Structure 1
Amino acid sequence: MTVASEPDLRQDFPVTKKTIYMNNGAVAPTSLAVVKAMTDFMIKCADEGPDSQATSDYITALLRELRVRVAHLINCEQEEVVLTQSTTDGMNAVANGIGWEKGDAVIVRGGKHEHPANYLPWLRLKEKGVMLSELAIDKDGFFDLGDLEKLARKSRLLTLSHALYNTGAIMPVEEAGKIASENNVLFCIDAAQTAGTIRVDVKKIGCDFIAFPGFKWLCGPMGMGVFYCSKKAAQALTPVAIGGESATFSGDTIAYMDMPRRLQAGFRNYPGAAGLEAALRYVLRVGIDNVRAANVKVANALREELGRINGIELYGPADESRRTSIVTFTTPKDPPYIVSKLEEIGVVLAERDAGNVKVVRAAPHFFNTEEEGSGGCGQDKGAFVATFSCHPGLL
């Protein structure tokens, strides 16, 4: 199956008719199926009443189905799936839910080279006397497993991005998981740049926690995220929020509900849940392996074309097995200027940081094509790489 060449698939994403959208690492467009699912939910509430028994039964079935699809996506149990609004929510549930003691250590990777959602929550723990042990990284963001093993012997938690938000480099999370397990270290994963674009298997990774959004590579609605917490690790977390949905009380004694309700107080974004369920159904139907193959094909074409242009420097691993479809580069002119000018031409990318360097980030997904990446000046919409030769003032 050549995913991006399927005409019906491209028609499902209206954005493909108007622009070359390659900013899926920030927020991906939703398909018409997601829009319909959310609209249908709101119509049902309007017809039957948002707090009627019929709507309540529908919501119960919807959340059950959503958890089934998440469980299938990341290979976990339904009871281990907590619904959030973002990756940040999940990471903070761990950072603020563990009963830290002064002198505890958290292993982080790369400091300011890291996704802020997977650095700031741990950095703030310094206020509680928690130490940060930072893994040294190479030019592509990778770390030495030997260094990790040394730090793991005296740490309480390891946290890693599955793939880097700025270059797409895929971290060796399975090897890290083995080291964490051997040293009785809790393992937390930020999967913001992998869920929906490469396989994510919590059992193979061996992590205790994983967080990701529904609105990046899964093409779901904004304001929906997922937090995986293993049954065993759930006992290590005190819920950050508490309410009638997550706990009961007798006198002054509080008793938490079983997972996942224990960690999901106050969730009410049911239209978003309907949209995310539809998005997951769509991506799972296409198949993660097919998505991965299509994404790598476009990314490779972009890297090849960009590599031929004087003044452009590529970042991240050259080896396709060590990266997602993110393609990062610099030009002689500042990234904000490049990103702004490209959007005027009809190409949507992003500006990001790669350590001390400002970069341009292209993040193509399965509805993008190789032609959108290269192409020629005569095309109606233009094409990403072709814009540099068709509009010389960009460089």
Structure 2
Amino acid sequence: MKKSINSSSSISRRNFLGSCGKMTTISVLSSFLQLKLANSLMAALPTGSITDYKALVCVFLHGGNDSFNMLTPYLQPEYDLYQSVRSNLALDRESLLAIYDTENADRRWYGLNPLMPEVHSLYDSHHLAFISNVGTLVQPTTANDYVNDVGLPQGLFSHLEQQLAWQSSIPDSISQTGWIGRMSDIMNDSSTTGTETVSMNISTAGANLLQAGVQVGSVNVGSAGANTLGDYNNTPSVKQAIDKSLAQNYKNVIRNHYNHIRKETIEQANLIDDATSGISLATVFPNTSIGQQLKQAALSIAARDQLGVKRQTFFVSMPGYDSHAALLVSHSKLLPELSAALQAFDNAMLELGVHDNVTTYTASDFGRSLTSNGDGTDHGWGGIKW
């Protein structure tokens, strides 16, 4: 897919994101984040000097999304090639939702999966852009390099290693920190107000490498808030026993540190719950896991003043995208849920008046093979993001 997918010729955040497809290799991103200049600039700013609000939301599709059946070529020669290679898994051409080229409004270059009408609406509203053929890359790579295993990402087709690569932005080795975590370390002193009560990083999908920094970590809450701490909040005897354990000082340094992390996690999760419990959104979110995770992110954004933060990041995720078998069946459930949740989140950002201050993006382990294995597709490399 070589054609730029833009629906506006003006300079905009959407067009900028689309243009970033030219430099979305992980090695480039890593280089940007490692620049000492960024650290020096942020260090020069006094605490609380950042007064505007910005948030970044990662929607991670675990398993390796088959994006070839999400955004599909529509012009007849390209579609015929797609259909020939995909065989029994190819989407029907006439069912595709039109993606038009703004420079040639009569040309329908691409079609979106008909299961995603909300995403289609976001695209038409200039609220969403697609970036095609995005994958981990250490250096510019030729077919000969690939055959001879020269300069390739570590664990190229491995779920775990590629998830870690996307989240660390270091594709050729294992890192202990994520790129958002490192960014948070750099920004933390200048982006806080002095009244912040929680980390700028919130996860509704458990611990993740993406938000792990040296100084700044993430606070983990459930899709329904801190009440997912379950028996701790709901059963007095359990709470008493855990609190007694948390109050202990252990001789073992590792055990003591672990206890400190447990205590801090509970405290911060409850602070988020307190800040968000009185907030009511007019936007209705789908009663799905991804819908409720994004609702929790929206509530935390709405509570930004109570939490005292000017910069926030969120990690939400969906499992189920490892489509070695039953691709069409799994997509029939996953894609509508994702599409509806993204539309609701976009509506909530408009409702809160921060639509232009919040960027949401998708990521996945890797793309899938263009060829069918009979009932699904196998591990690939590049895929389509938005």
**Is the shorter-chain TM-score for this pair beyond 0.5, marking a shared fold?**
no
Given the two structures, how large is their TM-score scaled by the length of structure 2? 0.24
User: Relative contact order (alpha carbons < 8 A, sep ≥ 6): 1 or 2 greater?
Assistant: 2
Given the two structures, how large is their TM-score scaled by the length of structure 1? 0.23
